[in-house]
Amino acid sequence: MKRHILRATAGIAFAISLMTVHTPVALEKTVDPAPAAPVASSTAALPAAPESPAPYKPRNPKTIAALIRCESRGKNVKIIDTNGKYSYGILQYQKATWNQWSRESGIEGDPMVPEDAIRMADWAIDQGDAYLGQWSCAHILGLVD
């Protein structure tokens, strides 16, 4: 399972809690082992651990948070929309919209991955009302005319 962690402003703190995967950790009893025999050291350097990319920080956190609340109530779901097509993720993208915006923006990913969905929403909001207006909730919330 992929783990996607997003650090963001307090304005989308609820989205962060949805995107953080919590895995229970089993606590084990530790026992002091017997002293180990000395091990010969190696002069070969260990490879450096790959750096994790910095979490995405949206440019439009308040607008995205409002859209998430309205579109999915913060649930990462796949549902059949009023037009009979599936909508995906916390921002309820339909495949045709996601694919078109992906081609236009160069953003790849999956609308069911919250960080990808937020990244795409941020791009769309920056494009103006014609893109923002694709969400029915943008009209409901008065974000577009």
Q: Residue 7 has what pLDDT? A: 32
Q: Which is more confident, 28 or 102?
A: 102
Q: Residue 15 has what pLDDT? A: 52
Given a contact cutoff of 8 angstroms between Cβ atoms, the answer to whether 89 and 65 are in contact is no
Span 5-58, pLDDT tens digits: 333 333 344 454 444 433 333 334 444 555 555 555 555 666 676 777 778 888
| pTM attached to this predicted model | 0.65
Q: Residue 35 has what pLDDT? A: 57
Given a contact cutoff of 8 angstroms between Cβ atoms, the answer to whether 9 and 24 are in contact is no
Q: Which is more confident, 111 or 1?
A: 111
The arithmetic mean of pLDDT across residues 81-101, rounded, is 96
Q: Residue 12 has what pLDDT? A: 41
d(CA 86, CA 80): 4
Domains and CATH numbers, the chain: 1-21+58-145 (1.10.530)
Q: Beta-strand (E) ranges in the chain? A: 78-80, 86-88, 93-94
Span 107-144, pLDDT tens digits: 999 999 999 999 999 999 999 999 999 999 999 999 99
